[in-house]
Amino acid sequence: MITIPPSIQRITSPYESEIYVEVDHYILYEDNSTVGISVPGDEICLAGDRLRTIDPWGFHETKTDESKCRWLDYGEKDEFKCSRDAYRVITINSYLSSPVNYTANICLAYDKSSCTWRGAGDAPEREICKVRGSYKGIWAESTQFYYRCAKSTIQSYTHPLQYQVRFVQDVEFPGEGLSKRIVQIEMRPIPRCD
């Protein structure tokens, strides 16, 4: 947790909020994930040539066994139906990590040929894809996993080894609305893991 230095603490007016902290985020991964999770810079450390969370993260993920699902065709309307035992909730409690230098797949074109728009009565239309994409490895945050990726490329990235901490205050100007004021900026190095 980042504390606000006493040197910048100030008495606020009715037009100013308390000073709060904004921190750069890093994208780190759980072992079996294809998309990263955004983690604040003050919650990570450097372990050799990898960044990882200081503490393990706990979260739940629902896995679907699609072999226990089937498409039901009702003429103008079809539906993907799964039995109750097709869904399994997994609890994960592990460190998130990423190499300092890493690559991610970026989808350049999607194949939507197996997808159609369906709407029943007054219900809003929704897109149904009979064949979904199979994504292995790490993919960019913007990936549309619902579709098959027809063309992709690999992009290389490097995590910076220091992050920015911004001490910010919201200021309201009568008749003009809210504005964000940066009171102070600090660069902090990512510490080594214990």
Beta bridge partners of 40: 25
List, for residues 13-55, the tens digit of each pLDDT value. 777 888 899 999 998 988 777 778 889 999 999 999 999 999 9
Question: Could you give the dihedral angle defined by the CA atoms of residues 69, 74, 77 and 83, in that order, rounded to the nearest 10 degrees?
Answer: -20
Residue that the structure tokens 């009171």 belong to: 183
The answer to whether the predicted template modeling score (pTM) of the entire model surpasses 0.85 is no
Q: What percent of the chain has pLDDT over 90?
A: 31
Beta strands in the chain (DSSP E): 20-23, 25-28, 37-40, 44-47, 50-53, 57-64, 69-74, 77-82, 87-94, 97-99, 101-111, 115-118, 126-129, 148-158, 162-173, 177-189
List, for residues 106-143, the tens digit of each pLDDT value. 999 998 888 887 766 566 777 777 777 788 888 888 88
CB 99 within 8 A of CB 50: yes
